[in-house]
Structure 1
Amino acid sequence: MAMGAADIVPGVSGGTIAFITGIYFRLLEAISAVPEAVFRHLFRGQLKAFWTACDGTFLLCLMAGVLTSILTLASVIGAALEQYPVLVWSFFFGLILASVWHVSRQIKRFSPRLAVPLVAGVVIAWTITSLTANQLNPSPVIFFGAGAVAICAMILPGISGSFILVILGMYAHVLSAIKSFELVHLGLFAAGCVVGLLSIARLITWAFRHFHDAVLALLTGFMIGSLNKVWPWKETLSWRINSAGDKVPLTEASISPLSFAELTGQSPQITGAIICALGGLVLVFMIEWVGQSRRRQEC
């Protein structure tokens, strides 16, 4: 459910949540095993062997939580971002900042060569979060393609799939399809997600097996670069009209809390922002502590 809630928010990645909760590698392995399990077991009627090979119970529970969260929390999170944007973004800023520390700790051997993928990750994520949103006509092909591209971002810590949808101009259309329960569009989007997920999971799994530390350095860079998107204080440079006819920000720039107060005339809520950011930090540390305790018990 936490992954689903994160995927709703443009700027926060469900992959980040999977990583800090300790299920990221199990998720990649399970998804990567699905195609082979389909041909080796499912087509032969070996349902139990298929379920075991692709870690079916784990994937079912995970997907049920993600879908439940998306269907129930989309409106709640949207309302919270509208009413308390500085506080909500501050919480996610602290969450991702702590995740940077958590992911970097998984690197087995630090070396100067890791600076290359680290910097590359920062540049890529920072560039993506600085792109201007476009607007696509929501045709069936576009829904399928948006699903395939967005899910690839969602599985990568530090890159937000929902923000990719914002850049493509499909975020409002997908949310509208979810709220209206448009089965055709949702089905096409889900099919795109399945195709993209099976492709990217196998690629990431292979990369981790052969370039473990370099991939972690790249993912750490992604998270550092994504902090630009979740910075709580923004100046709106241009606006657009969404599909509902509402005026929403098109391009934004990160500014200091003092500049925010001067430009908007609103309180920067610095104290509340710090508390919320610390809440995100503490949450990650608690999750990691619980995960370590469980691993020690299993050993």
Structure 2
Amino acid sequence: MSQLSLVFKGMAMGMAEVVPGVSGGTIAFITGIYERLIFAIKSIDLDLLRLIGKGKIGEAWKKLDGNFLVTLLTGMVLGIGIGVFAITWLLEHEPIAIWAFFFGLIIASVWVVGKDIEVWNFKTIIALILGTILVYYVTIAVPSSGIEALWFVFVCGAVAISALLLPGLSGSFILLLLGMYTYILPKVKEVMSGNFEGLSVLVVFGLGCITGVLSFSRVLTWAFKHHKNVTLAFLTGLMIGSLNKVWPWQEVLTTRINTKGEETVAFSKSVLPSTFSGLQDNFLYGNDPQTVLAIICIIGGFALVILMSIFGKKS
């Protein structure tokens, strides 16, 4: 695998983690680097620390698959940087188009991940249904307003980064459900722009991410080793249930004022384009359904994931 190709895959994963649609884990899965990534993360343990302590840096680097991780993480940082600025602008100025694109990404991801379920039986069907119901219920029951206390920021980091390892669940989507997406993402943007007022929040969030990724990688490897089909079915269900959250046509029910004094969406519900066109004073979204543009964006998102899946298999 060429280093440049791996950088581009990392960029795709980083951009995916910024948007509440498709997960970095899904990108890793469909581009053929998922298993290698999981084992590399899982290798961070006491044995690795002992090797470093004994000065056996070469052995530790090999155990960690260091070249792979550094190259991939470099691409992810670049992808996150691009995504933070581009996606935040699109969410503010072209919400229907960007959510339609996310919708297409998830539909394709459902197919890409679901087709790897080798056996369909009672357990896998139940797992699929439970995953779907769980996330769908959360999307309609939990308003998008979070808690800005540092302890909750830490918890969100641990949970969201865990989703990075799942081929099907977006870390940004988890932040969205927890009501922290519109709080954490602007902090990243501010720090990258030279404003370090929110740095403490990002440090705590980062510590949560480290805790989550080291612990959850072990849970995930166990689940895939012993219950692969059931795990994939559950993850597929999670994606199906999440479609409600990224439906392009939303009726904004309530808004809130964020920490910068700006009005943002607090809670919305999915409606049909015909209903959307009749809405009055629909904050942020307006009432122009832009149906043709939305369909094009859905097809574009779908095609992108399918192409990445094909490319991943060939490479």
TM > 0.5:
yes
Among 111, 119, 127, the alignment partner of 1:117 is 127
Report the CA distance shift for 1:180/1:85 in structure 2 as closer, same or farther (over 3 A). closer
Unaligned runs of 5+ in 1: 295-299
Report the CA distance shift for 1:151/1:34 in structure 2 as closer, same or farther (over 3 A). same
Among 302, 309, 314, the alignment partner of 1:281 is 302
Quick check: 1:37–1:53 contact (8 Å CA) kept in 2? Answer: no
Among 130, 134, 153, the alignment partner of 1:143 is 153
Q: Report matched runs for 1:55-204 at 5 Å.
A: 55-130=65-140, 131-139=142-150, 141-181=151-191, 182=196, 183-204=199-220
Report the CA distance shift for 1:103/1:167 in structure 2 as closer, same or farther (over 3 A). closer
Indicate the percent of aligned positions where both proteins have the same amino acid: 44
Among 246, 261, 266, the alignment partner of 1:245 is 261
Distance in 2 of aligned mates of 1:58 and 1:7 = 19
Partner of 2:3: none
Detail structure 1 runs of 4+ shifted over 6 Å in the superposition.
Answer: none
Q: Give the CA deviation at 1:257.
A: 0.9
Query: CA offsets, 1:71-125, max 9 Å, x none?
Result: 3331211111222111111111111111111111111222233111111111122
One-letter amino acid of the structure 1 residue matched with residue 238 of structure 2: F
Distance in 1 of aligned mates of 2:216 and 2:82 = 27
Q: Give the CA deviation at 1:239.
A: 1.1
Q: Give the CA deviation at 1:40.
A: 4.1
Quick check: 1:103–1:216 contact (8 Å CA) kept in 2? Answer: yes
Distance in 2 of aligned mates of 1:245 and 1:31 = 40
One-letter amino acid of the structure 2 residue matched with residue 107 of structure 1: I
Whose helix fraction is larger, Structure 1's or Structure 2's? 1
Q: CA RMSD in A?
A: 1.9
Partner of 1:43: 53
Distance in 1 of aligned mates of 2:71 and 2:154 = 24
SS in 2 for 1:106: coil
Q: Give the CA deviation at 1:37.
A: 4.4
Quick check: 2:13–2:76 contact (8 Å CA) kept in 1? Answer: yes
One-letter amino acid of the structure 2 residue matched with residue 289 of structure 1: I
Unaligned runs of 5+ in 2: 1-10, 281-285
Partner of 2:283: none
Q: Give the CA deviation at 1:16.
A: 2.3
Q: Give the CA deviation at 1:167.
A: 4.0
Query: CA offsets, 1:193-228, max 9 Å, x none?
Result: 011001111101111000011111111111111111
Distance in 2 of aligned mates of 1:109 and 1:76 = 40
What is the TM-score when the length of structure 1 is the normalising length? 0.90
What is the TM-score when the length of structure 2 is the normalising length? 0.86
Report the CA distance shift for 1:100/1:171 in structure 2 as closer, same or farther (over 3 A). closer
Report the CA distance shift for 1:201/1:240 in structure 2 as closer, same or farther (over 3 A). same
Partner of 1:266: 287
SS in 1 for 2:143: coil
Partner of 2:272: 256
Residue-pair matches, total: 293
Partner of 1:297: none
Report the CA distance shift for 1:165/1:285 in structure 2 as closer, same or farther (over 3 A). closer
One-letter amino acid of the structure 2 residue matched with residue 280 of structure 1: G
Q: Give the CA deviation at 1:13.
A: 2.4
Q: Give the CA deviation at 1:275.
A: 1.3
Partner of 1:292: 313
Q: Give the CA deviation at 1:7.
A: 1.7
Distance in 1 of aligned mates of 2:134 and 2:212 = 20
